[in-house]
Amino acid sequence: MTFMLMKRDWRDKMHEIIYEADTKEGKLFDVALLWLILASVVLVMLGSVKTLDSKYHAVFNITEWAITILFTIEYICRIVCIKKPWSYIFSFYGLIDFFSTIPKYISLFFIGSSGALLAFRSLRLLRIFRILKLGTYVGESMKLKRALYASRTKILVFLFAIVILCTILGTVMFLVEDDAAGFTSIPRSIYWAVVTMTTVGYGDIAPQTVLGQFIASIVMILGYGIIAIPTGIVSSEITRQSLNKDDIKTVSCVNCSAENHSRNAIFCYKCGANLSS
Amino acid sequence: MTFMLMKRDWRDKMHEIIYEADTKEGKLFDVALLWLILASVVLVMLGSVKTLDSKYHAVFNITEWAITILFTIEYICRIVCIKKPWSYIFSFYGLIDFFSTIPKYISLFFIGSSGALLAFRSLRLLRIFRILKLGTYVGESMKLKRALYASRTKILVFLFAIVILCTILGTVMFLVEDDAAGFTSIPRSIYWAVVTMTTVGYGDIAPQTVLGQFIASIVMILGYGIIAIPTGIVSSEITRQSLNKDDIKTVSCVNCSAENHSRNAIFCYKCGANLSS
Amino acid sequence: MTFMLMKRDWRDKMHEIIYEADTKEGKLFDVALLWLILASVVLVMLGSVKTLDSKYHAVFNITEWAITILFTIEYICRIVCIKKPWSYIFSFYGLIDFFSTIPKYISLFFIGSSGALLAFRSLRLLRIFRILKLGTYVGESMKLKRALYASRTKILVFLFAIVILCTILGTVMFLVEDDAAGFTSIPRSIYWAVVTMTTVGYGDIAPQTVLGQFIASIVMILGYGIIAIPTGIVSSEITRQSLNKDDIKTVSCVNCSAENHSRNAIFCYKCGANLSS
Amino acid sequence: MTFMLMKRDWRDKMHEIIYEADTKEGKLFDVALLWLILASVVLVMLGSVKTLDSKYHAVFNITEWAITILFTIEYICRIVCIKKPWSYIFSFYGLIDFFSTIPKYISLFFIGSSGALLAFRSLRLLRIFRILKLGTYVGESMKLKRALYASRTKILVFLFAIVILCTILGTVMFLVEDDAAGFTSIPRSIYWAVVTMTTVGYGDIAPQTVLGQFIASIVMILGYGIIAIPTGIVSSEITRQSLNKDDIKTVSCVNCSAENHSRNAIFCYKCGANLSS
């Protein structure tokens, strides 16, 4: 029984370190993990550069194995110290942990085609968000998320209109321009419409005829003006939130029931009654 | 007479299914139509890709005929079950229905030049808006439309100024740069000015001389700054709309039933009656 | 004396037609002038297209002479019917009228180098603004101008910071990248910095080294973020103007001196006193 | 002792001229310095243009020596007339003054590799900010800085999300596209993602496969929409600042001297005293 208790204690301690950031050890673990993830992602990137890979292949391979083993240990620890292991394993972060660790082991068996597989390790980057959930920037990112969430229907309507518009404009340009300018099919013309509408403008496909350039000019001015819409939506939402939340008390005066008292008000601005009474 | 009544009933039922979305059948019909339109548009797109068309020409042709016949039946039904057929036929959606269905039939007679004609079938995409009129996103898209409508004169003034500015800048660049850089005529130089001002920047026409690049830099910074104007217009309009909604009491005066009282109003601004009584 | 009076009358009538838009004839004159200007500008544009010019040179020349003579008559009329001719001649629009009419006459003497000279005729486009001054869109464009004027110091500070930033970033890129990538001199590198910062991105000059691409990425994200500043400035200014001007009465209550009454308020929202008393 | 006093006086006078702008001489000194800096920066730029440098090398060299000597004198004066020379020498502007003056002297000893070194002289541009600190645009730039400072956490969260997003999208594109399209390594693909997301769009790397173009389209629309976020953040911050200024009484309470009373406040929100008494 004492052994069971001890084990429980040990697992509780580990759970605190790995899953929470309140204790000193928990914070240290998070910071260490953060750097390990960043190091591992940088390694994946450098490994994809052919000239570097051919030179330092052995170094990359050994470091990657070391990191993979560390992540494997972390993965096992996470399963061991949690009460409901299965709910972790099939959670969003559980799946990311698994699929970003496994590729290196698979590469032992399939040597040839492992390149694409290894890029899966970039998924580790998503793990950073788990660590940051416990960080200090949560408040602000929550505000942003709330603003985006509040205006999600407006944004969806906007995106939908953009997609329809690009499809129609792409089809029109397919009819107007010929193959030489790069408008070889309707999907490719739609791709051009998106590139132009969003003001990216690669230039790999560009209208050559006068009529095509005229239509393209309209598309550009349209795209240039349309950007005002999402900006306006989000601006207005953030303005409203910050005006409501930051400056105005939710308490109304008990005497005259006036509202919209500024945050640091003690007395009602209308009748002079004490607000906290 | 009973036959007449029965016929009327049958046509009323059909009208309800096709033109409205309140009943279960009406919704089902709308969803089925939505998918059929999407499938047909995807088909038009794939058919424009030469490699796919040469391989699966027969499949595309048969599917397209099937869809065209379904749309023809729908078109006939719409005419049959409506009370004023002519007002439907010459309405916006009536014309779209007609011109997006007819090309396939015409292609029977003119085999050679039917390519351009068939692209008209993309117009079917516009029919999606008819279906969505009955959908749930109407409220939000109405708000957007109202904000755009309220700021239409400001936006027109802005667009007009952009067009004038691009014309003058294009002419200046035509004088400064020579043909080698792509500035072969004034319309082409204006096209360049639009491409640059809207920050699209294809790069097919780009200034080569020092003076040209200096003017281009000014155009770019101008264009970069000018985008603030439509954004500001729409932002402010949406902000005002959403602020109004928040700052205005939902209570209407019991005496004169005036609405839109500001939040902290005690007396009606129209008749002076006490609002809380 | 009657002749003098008659003459005065005749000149007054002409002044009314040419300079004002209140009478029916004045409006007609403005509309006719508007179309003539547009036609003349389109002619200048088409004349710059080499293929068209070689084909229709005679047509263009004759039409241009007709338009030039009409503008000359208008110019003489403007001088004749105004009381202080010199103040008109040296006014902004007076100079534009002169310099956009004279090139055709000069081209009689200097046949060879008249190409550049003739492009001066595009200046006629600026005359459109004179006509529109009398139009209906003045109110809105005034609001825009006021918003821009109110935020001019903020915008100047911003533009100044952009120029400094582009100069420093251009110099840095000149050191990092070599000539092959197009960074042949500091002014050219600054041009690149402007092209990148404003998100235009022609692609005629683009970083090739890893360090250069890294710095370029930072420049891009910077430029992408920085656009928020002018937008924010103008947005806020327009929002403030429309909130102040449209919704709020400038009158304060004579009884309790409460302010911010909504536009259509008759009674004070605070004490119920009549606002118009 | 009189000599000491005289010397002190002389140094005080110089300090006033060099470090302050209240007196007539101080302003003159600042304006002269401003033009000298601009001239010197233009010289650095022109010197980097190879064709100009080979022609006017001697002129550039002599002018540069003249400017360098003037800046050296200024640097010595600054040290001499300040009370704590070391705190100036190691201050931000002290270091810039030193490192933008020294390269010309170093170029005497190392003739070959001085090109890169000389570009350091562009740092002089930063000295403009010191002069402008004393200028008239300070108020507005302070407002901008305050707005940016107030929204710094939101902007950091946003930039962080952009970097993560670009990394993941870059990796995905590296897997989807092959080397021919320019996606040769993950860092290069991330560079492409930044170029696309920020709507710069050079076009030196562009997707070629259908899947790649489809993903790219999503990236573009994403980037096009995401720009709404920083814009919204800054807009809302500037709006709030300018609204606060308008909605707040300039009167402070006579009883407790609290400030920032809202416009229609009658009683002090802090002590309850009547504000109008």
**What ipTM was predicted for this assembly?**
0.77
Cβ separation C199–A203 shorter than 8 A: no
Distance from CA of C112 to the nearest CA of A (A): 28
Q: Which residues of D touch A50 (CB under 8 A)?
A: 184-185
Of A126, A195, A238, the CB nearest to D201: A195
| Residue that is written with structure tokens 């101080």 in the block | D26
pLDDT confidence of residue C208: 87
Please give the model's pTM, rounded to 2 decimal places. 0.80
- Mutation to test the B interface, candidates A233, A259, A268, most B Cβ within 10 Å: A233
Q: Is residue B142 part of a domain?
A: no
- Shared domain check, C236 and C113: no
Nearest C-alpha in A relative to C199: A200
Residue pair B209/A206 in contact by the 8 Å Cβ criterion: no
Most trustworthy range by pLDDT among A10-14, B111-115, B215-219, C22-26? B215-219
Contact C272 B274 (CB under 8 A): yes
Contacts of A157 (CB under 8 A, 6+ apart): B137, B140, B141, B144
Would you say residue D273 lies in a domain?
Answer: no
Contact D264, C259 (CB under 8 A): yes
pLDDT score recorded for residue B134: 47
Q: Are residues C11 and C129 in the same domain?
A: yes
Decide if A275 is inside a domain: no
Q: Do C27 and C100 share a domain, yes or no?
A: yes
Between chains, do D186 and A144 touch, taking CB under 8 Å as contact? no
- Where chain D has pLDDT below 70, the residues are 1-8, 111-119, 132-140, 243-277
Whether the per-residue pLDDT at A161 is higher than 70: the answer is yes
Interchain contact, A199 vs B200, CB within 8 Å = yes
The CA-based diameter of chain D, rounded to the nearest angstrom, is: 87
Min Cα separation C170/chain D (Å): 10
Show residues of chain C in contact with A203, CB under 8 Å: 202-203
Has residue C80 been placed in a domain?
yes
CATH number at residue A183: 1.10.287.70
Mean local confidence (pLDDT), A200-213: 88
Whether B102 is in a domain gets the answer yes
Task: Using CB atoms, list chains with 3+ pairs below 8 Å to chain C.
Answer: A, B, D
Q: Which of A117-131, B68-82, B217-231, D129-143 has the highest mean pLDDT?
A: B68-82
pLDDT digits (tens, 9 = 90+) for B137-146: 566 677 777 7
CA dist., res. A235 & res. A240, Å (int): 9
Sequence-distant (6+) residues with CB within 8 A of D140 are C153, C154, C157
> How many domains is chain D partitioned into structurally?
2
Q: How far is A132 from chain D (nearest CA, A)?
A: 10
CB contact under 8 A, D200 and C199: yes
State whether the Cα torsion A81-A85-A90-A91 is positive or negative.
negative
Asked if residue A214 and residue A238 are part of one domain, the reply reads yes
Residues B87 and B161 grouped into a single domain: no
> pLDDT tens digit string along A248-277?
555 566 666 665 555 555 666 566 666 665
CB A154 within 8 A of CB A233: yes
Asked if residue B141 is part of any domain, the answer here is no
Q: Is A257 left (phi over 0), alpha (psi -120 to 50) or beta?
A: left
The mean per-residue pLDDT over the stretch B103-116 comes to: 70
pLDDT in tens, C65-108: 899 999 999 999 888 888 888 888 888 888 888 888 888 888 77
CATH of the domain at C120: 1.20.120.350
Do residue D11 and residue D126 come from a single domain? yes
Contact yes or no for A116/A103 (Cβ under 8 A): no
Residues D257 and D167 in one domain: no
Span A68-87, pLDDT tens digits: 999 999 999 888 888 888 88
Please list every residue in chain A whose beta carbon sits closer than 8 Å to the beta carbon of residue D233.
144, 238
> Do residue C254 and residue C229 come from a single domain?
no
Contact D203 B199 (CB under 8 A): no
Interface test with A, best of D269, D271, D276, D277 (most A CBs within 10 A): D269
Domain co-membership, C196 together with C254: no
Residue C276 lies in a domain: no
Within this chain, do residues A119 and A25 fall inside the same structural domain, yes or no? yes
For residues C150 and C241, give the distance between their C-alpha atoms in angstroms, rounded to a whole number.
Answer: 10
- Residue from B149, B159, B168, B171 to probe the interface with C (highest C Cβ count within 10 Å): B171
Length of chain D: 277
Q: Are C17 and C118 found together in one domain?
A: yes
* Domain containing residue A98: 2-134+250-261
The beta-carbon neighbor of A167 closest among B125, B162, B236 is B125
pLDDT at C259: 57
Number of cross-chain residue pairs from A and C with Cβ atoms under 8 Å apart: 10
One domain for residues B94 and B23: yes
Calculate how close chain C gets to A92, using CA atoms only, in Å: 29
Under the banding of pLDDT at 50, 70 and 90, the label for residue A47 is confident
- Among A118, A102, A112, which residue's Cα sits nearest to residue A45? A118
Q: What is the pLDDT of residue A109?
A: 76
